[in-house]
Amino acid sequence: MRRAVRILGVPMDLGQGRRGVDMGPSAVRYAGLQARLEGLGYQVEDGGNVIVPVPEEVRAVGPGGMRHLEAVAEACERVFRAVRETVADGRFPIILGGDHSIAMGTVAGVIAAAGPTGVLWIDAHGDFNTPETSPSGNIHGMPLAHLVGRGHPRLIQIGGPEPKLRPEQVVLIGVRSLDPEERRAMAESGMLVFTMREIDELGIATVVRQALTRLKAWPRLHVSLDLDVLDPQVAPGVGTPVPGGLTYREAHLMMEILADSGRVGSVDVVEINPILDERNRTAELAVELLASLLGQQIL
C-alpha cells in the first residue's frame, strides 16, 4: 500500500508586516510538489487551503500592539482542526505557509491527534518573542514562545488550554537573528539551540544527529521549516531574509538525515514570498527539500 500524504495550504500573511507570503502555498504547488511526491511512491491528496482573511478585512492592531491577533488565532484554530483530522486519518500532513505563526496550529493539531511529539524548529529566527518583548508586534516572531506557554492567553490556548510543548521537546537549528530580550529568554528556556556558529564548527550532520539524540524520548517528530534558514543567495524569496544561512547541500543533508531516522511524521514549510523570489526558485527549492525529507535519495 502506498504511503498517504495530505497537502494543506495556509495562505496567511497576517503574522508579519511584509505582504506576499500568503502566495507561498500556490508557488509550491506550481513548483510541482504533488507530482514529485507521487514519483516517490506516495498517495497524495491536496486538501486545499485553510480559509484565512486578508489583512484589509481585519483589525490591524490588537491588545498590546499585537498585529491581527484575533484573525491569526482564528486561522490557527482552523489549521489545528485540519491537521488534527489529517493525522487522525493516518496521513502525513505537509502544511504550506504562509508566515510562521501557522505553526501554533500545526503543532497543536499534530499533538492532539498523535500525542507528545518532538519538534525541530529550523529557522534563522528564534520566534521566541512575546507581546512584551516584540519590537514589531508581528506574531510570526512569537509562535514558539506561545507553544511553550509564554505570551498571550488567546494564542497559548489554540487547540486547548495547556501549553503544547515543554522546552526539552524542541531543538532549534540555524538560528542567527535574535532580539535582545528574546535572546535572554531563549538562553534561560532550556531548549537546545544550534546557531549558525555551531553548524559552522561541528558541521550540519553532527548537529542534526545531536538534535535527534536530544529528542530520543519522542519517537514521532514534527519539522517546522522556515525557508529563511537558508542563505538568501540560495533562497531569495523569503519573508525575512538574513545573511549567513545554510547552503543548498547543508539543507539537503539535514533533510536526508531526518528521513533516515524514520521518525518524521509531519512538516510545515513557511515564509516563502514569491514577490521577492527569482522565477519561483525558492518554491522549487522547498519542493526539493520536501522530497529529500520524504525519502528521495541520490542512489
Q: Which residues are catalytic?
A: 100, 123, 125, 127, 140, 226, 228, 271
Q: What is the per-residue burial (b if ≥16 Cβ within 10 Å, else e) of 44-77?
A: bebbebbebeebeebeeebeeebbbbebbbbbbb
Sheet holding 118-122, edge to edge: 43-49, 4-10, 92-97, 264-270, 221-226, 118-122, 170-175, 192-195
- How far apart (Å, rounded) are the C-alpha atoms in residues 17 and 174? 23
Instruction: Let me know: does 68 contact 59? Beta carbons within 8 Å.
Output: yes
DSSP state of 33: H
- How far apart (Å, rounded) are the C-alpha atoms in residues 270 and 139? 14
Measured from the Cβ of residue 233, the count of other Cβ atoms closer than 10 Å reads 11
C-alpha cell, 261: 531516522
DSSP state of 66: -
Q: Which of 204, 192, 209, 225 is nearest to 263 (CA)?
A: 209
What is the CA angle 255-143-282, rounded to 5?
A: 40
Q: Which bin fits 157, alpha (ψ -120 to 50), beta or left (φ > 0)?
A: alpha
Q: Which of 105, 87, 221, 116 is nearest to 159 (CA)?
A: 105
The residues, any chain, with a CB within 8 Å of residue 12's CB and separated by 6 or more, are 21, 22, 52, 72, 75, 97, 98, 99, 101, 102
